[in-house]
Structure 1
Amino acid sequence: MSIIMKLITMTVLVFILCSCSANNSTTNSSTTIYMIRHAEKVIENNPDPSLTMAGFTRAENLKDALKDASIDAIIVSDLQRTQLTAQPLADYLSLQLIVIPIQELGVEQYIQGVVDEINNNWSGMEVLVVTHNPLFQQIGQRLNAPELPDIDDATGYDHFFVITKSDNSSVKAKLSHTRYGAF
């Protein structure tokens, strides 16, 4: 093989390798999902209760915890406790809440709606999901995250999950768990 042919072959190989590397870097981007439970709610015989004073304080604490993050979207249900929890941060970041109607859709379709909203519209970005305690594990599972721990329904308002999900569906998402705004 002549030297010119070897150079051409090497140039083509380098080009192919660089192209593959560039494609991998774009297809291996990740989406960060911050997932929390709504803040403390008023205990009453109302299917859509407001927040307690502690809940409103926790909503402000959430704003303080995430105001410097690069949140691109905030997803909530149509129940006011999720919206009231997220609203201070949404106002601070000048974002509109994305409402997935759990009452209209039912739990199963709501969960799928949250996952579809993230996957279809916010891939490669940072999203806050303010949801309900019994749904954490199911949403996390559909986002390919490791199993999320159980949360005490009476007191578990301060749990804060961060799921880092590769856009490559064969890669397991990473999960971190902390707490915020404890009183």
Structure 2
Amino acid sequence: MRSLISGMALAAGLALFASAASAQTVYIVRHAEKASDTERDPVLSGAGIARAEALAALFSEGTPDLIVVSPLQRTQLTAAPALEASGAFMVVSPLDDGVEAHVETIRQGVWALSEDTVVLIVGHSNTVPLIARALGYETLDMPECEYDRLIRLERRRGEVSGETRLFGVSTTC
């Protein structure tokens, strides 16, 4: 029940930006490097903090209007510099009902946004490719050691185009 309410809260938050959607710009990234591989919800490492700042710098010309994160603090800490710089609205997409429901909630919410909305989604190695695919962009699975992938999508008149870029310091796997 709690996750249903959380999902409804996310949908309500996204509805603040809703109108007849014909195009959006969506950026999807994985959270930055974490300080620990043994903790369930670790903070960012020094490299992760630097990557979060590099992410914020990408939006110097066009800041996000909306930032979507998971309940885990590493996604929120990765988004924090972009949030601070942009004054964007941030929503937390619940994970209580599993990854599939998380991805579907994000898909529905993003496509309900107005055509001039810029969205930043900060996810995890297992969710970033799934979210991109749900939004109509094919991408490879993401290995656990990869942090530098940035997917940029545009949707115009129902057509999705996209590209994969790298940002921040390159990661090697």
TM-score category, normalised to shorter length: 0.7 to 0.9
Gaps of 5+ in 1: 1-26
Indicate conservation of the 8 Å contact 1:34/1:160, yes or no.
Answer: yes
Matched position secondary structure for 1:101 = coil
Gaps of 5+ in 2: 1-19
Partners in 1 of 2:47 and 2:31 — Cα distance?
12
Which runs of structure 1 show a deviation greater than 4 angstroms over 4 or more consecutive aligned residues?
A: none
Between structure 1 and structure 2, the one with the greater Rg is 1
Partners in 2 of 1:178 and 1:112 — Cα distance?
24
Matched position secondary structure for 2:144 = coil
Q: 1:149 aligns with which of 140, 146, 153?
A: 140
- The CA RMSD measured in Å over matched residues stands at 1.9
Identity score, percent:
31
State the TM-score, normalizing by the size of structure 2. Answer: 0.80
Partner of 2:123: 131
Aligned-residue offset at 1:44: 3.5
- Report which of the two has the higher share of helix: 1
Structure with bigger RCO (C-alpha 8 Å, 6+ apart): 2
Partners in 2 of 1:43 and 1:55 — Cα distance?
11
Indicate conservation of the 8 Å contact 2:21/2:114, yes or no.
Answer: no
Q: What is the count of residue pairs matched by the alignment?
A: 151
Partner of 1:10: none
TM-aligned CA distance change 1:129 to 1:39, over 3 Å: same
Q: 1:122-141: per-residue Cα shift (whole Å, max 9, x none)? A: 23121000111111222122
